[in-house]
């Protein structure tokens, strides 16, 4: 099997959706020799902030000298982005080899995400990583990643998303995400509402996990672009974070608190400073050209964080949104920042809202704003860039990824595949 065929096989699996059940994955890992058992893991769940927290944590652990695996989803341009060791993506030929190996377990009928997760474990085990940072796919309790052996777990945030699978309230969703809690393992939580906090605390008590809460056992602050931290591992002051935005203080603090429990690491301030300052995570307030900023905000909480972080200069908003998202909740905080124009387009997804429909919904919120619906992303980007003002591109990772490829010429996969559930 070559890489293109492996992607095709994964794409076919994606049509069958996601399975919230652990037994098939447990059987697969057993058949593969339990590659997950020898790898201490930092396991990260949450609604927003998982990727940035994972990136901070992986950078910290790598700077401390640990050979560090990183497993995240979704990807922007290449499936290989999901599985990295010390910042280096898995080779396409290794993906092909390992996908072929996992798919030989035909009787288990594994899903897209289960195969991808098994490939990550096999790669990390073969390359003998010291530690791994693993992002939950959906929820936590029944996610395919929840068979790992964590040294610490994290819940970054709780919001109303994937309610059909996880429950209709933040408390229900928090209970599912807190299902990653393990006996004797610290669980670090970001700022959440009161009902979610109670649900997490209940799950932590039931599991026998040590609960560390934002604002109680640890915290982070950001003043004049200088980050400070108090919590496990000691204090840190005057650090410039590599990732922009006020919300990154939470993600950086979560990464510091959780990584302080990593086995075999002798931390000092210099290592932690370098780790935070050298973190790289694309499409998070990423300025890829002088007048173009990309952000992966694709739900109301992400849009609010982006709106709060926008620079004080005139800007054009280039946006595309999927139909299963809270379109008004995404638009409202961004329109509230007063863009000079709004360019609506349709990301390359069958679930995307049309440019005309998105423009209509935006007019309902801000009728006086100049709004242009343009279906093709290349033409939409060209139109948004006409004035020379800063262009903010957001609303869907599909859109952000396409714009990023158009501008940077970044290599993309020969076959486009995406996660089967509504993450983008």
For 62-89, give the DSSP string: HHTT--EEEE----SS-GGGGEEETTEE
* pLDDT of residue 163 exceeding 90: no
* pLDDT of residue 422 exceeding 70: no
* pLDDT of residue 334 exceeding 70: yes
Q: How confident is the model at residue 161 (pLDDT cuts 50, 70, 90)?
A: confident
For 65-74, letters b (16+ CB in 10 Å) and e give: ebebbbbbbb
**Distance between CA atoms of 409 and 230, rounded to whole angstroms?**
41
Span 291-301, average pLDDT: 94
Span 104-133, average pLDDT: 97
Q: What percent of the chain has pLDDT over 70?
A: 99
Residue-by-residue DSSP string for 342-398: EEE---SSTTBPPHHHHHHHHHHH-TTS-EEE-SSHHHHHHHHTTT-SEEEEES-HH
Average pLDDT, the chain: 95
Span 42-63, average pLDDT: 97
CA 280 to chain centroid: 13
Amino acid 18: pLDDT: 87
Specify which residues 302 forms β-bridges with: none
User: How is the chain split into domains, by residue range?
Assistant: 3-277, 286-408
Q: Residues in the chain, how many? A: 424
- Whether 321 and 296 have beta carbons less than 8 Å apart is answered as no
* pLDDT of residue 424 exceeding 60: no
Residue 217 DSSP label:
T
Q: What percent of the chain has pLDDT over 90?
A: 91
Amino acid 421: pLDDT: 55
Domain 286-408 in the same topology as domain 3-277: no
Span 84-102, average pLDDT: 98
Span 232-253, average pLDDT: 95
Burial class (CB in 10 A: 0-12, 13-18, 19+), 329: middle
* pLDDT of residue 378 exceeding 50: yes
Is CATH 3.30.460.10 the classification given to domain 3-277?
A: no
User: How do residues 3-32 score in pLDDT, each as one tens digit?
Assistant: 999 999 999 998 888 899 999 999 999 999
Poorest-pLDDT segment among 193-202, 264-273, 412-421: 412-421
The label of the residue with tokens 């695996």 reads: 69
- Whether 371 and 274 have beta carbons less than 8 Å apart is answered as no
Query: What topology does CATH give the domain 286-408?
Result: 3.90.190
Residue 326 DSSP label:
-
Is the pTM value of this prediction over 0.85? yes
- Please list the helix, strand and coil fractions of the chain in percent, rounded to the nearest 5, in that order: 40, 20, 40
Among 349, 342, 408, CA closest to 374: 342
């Amino acid at each position: 099997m070559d890489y293109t065929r492996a992607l095709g096989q994964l794409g076919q699996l994606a049509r069958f959706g996601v399975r919230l059940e652990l037994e098939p994955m447990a059987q697969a890992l057993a058949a593969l020799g339990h590659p997950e058992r020898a790898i201490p893991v930092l396991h990260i769940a949450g609604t927003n902030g998982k990727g940035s927290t994972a990136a901070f944590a992986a950078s910290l652990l790598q700077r401390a000298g640990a050979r560090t695996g990183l497993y995240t989803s979704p990807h922007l341009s290449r499936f290989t982005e999901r599985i990295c060791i010390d910042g280096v993506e898995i080779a396409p030929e290794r993906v092909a080899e390992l996908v072929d190996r996992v798919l030989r377990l035909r009787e288990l009928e594994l899903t897209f995400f289960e195969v991808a997760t098994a490939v990550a474990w096999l790669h990390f085990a073969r390359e003998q990583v010291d530690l791994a940072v693993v992002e939950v796919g959906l929820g936590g309790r029944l996610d395919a990643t929840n068979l790992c052996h964590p040294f610490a777990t994290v819940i970054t945030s709780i919001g109303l998303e994937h309610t059909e699978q996880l429950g209709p309230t933040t408390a229900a969703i928090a209970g599912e995400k807190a299902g990653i809690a393990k006996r004797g393992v610290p669980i670090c939580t970001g700022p959440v509402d009161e009902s979610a906090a109670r649900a997490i605390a209940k799950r932590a008590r039931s599991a026998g996990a040590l609960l560390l809460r934002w604002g109680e056992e640890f915290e982070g602050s950001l003043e004049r672009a200088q980050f400070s931290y108090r919590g496990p591992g000691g204090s840190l002051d005057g650090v410039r974070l590599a990732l922009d935005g006020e919300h990154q203080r939470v993600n950086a603090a979560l990464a510091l608190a959780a990584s302080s429990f990593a086995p075999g690491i002798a931390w000092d301030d210099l290592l932690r400073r370098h780790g935070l300052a050298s973190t790289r995570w694309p499409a998070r307030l990423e300025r890829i050209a002088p007048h173009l900023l990309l952000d992966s905000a694709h739900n109301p909480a992400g849009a609010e964080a982006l709106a709060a972080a926008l620079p004080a200069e005139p800007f054009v908003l280039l946006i595309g949104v999927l139909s299963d998202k809270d379109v008004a909740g995404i638009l409202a905080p961004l329109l509230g920042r007063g863009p000079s124009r709004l360019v609506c387009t349709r990301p390359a997804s069958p679930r995307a809202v049309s440019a005309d429909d998105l423009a209509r919904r935006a007019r309902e919120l801000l009728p006086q704003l100049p709004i242009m619906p343009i279906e093709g992303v290349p033409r939409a980007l060209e139109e948004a860039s006409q004035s020379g003002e800063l262009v903010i591109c957001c609303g869907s990772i599909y859109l952000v990824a396409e714009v990023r490829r158009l501008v940077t010429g970044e290599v993309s996969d020969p076959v486009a595949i995406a996660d089967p559930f509504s993450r983008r």
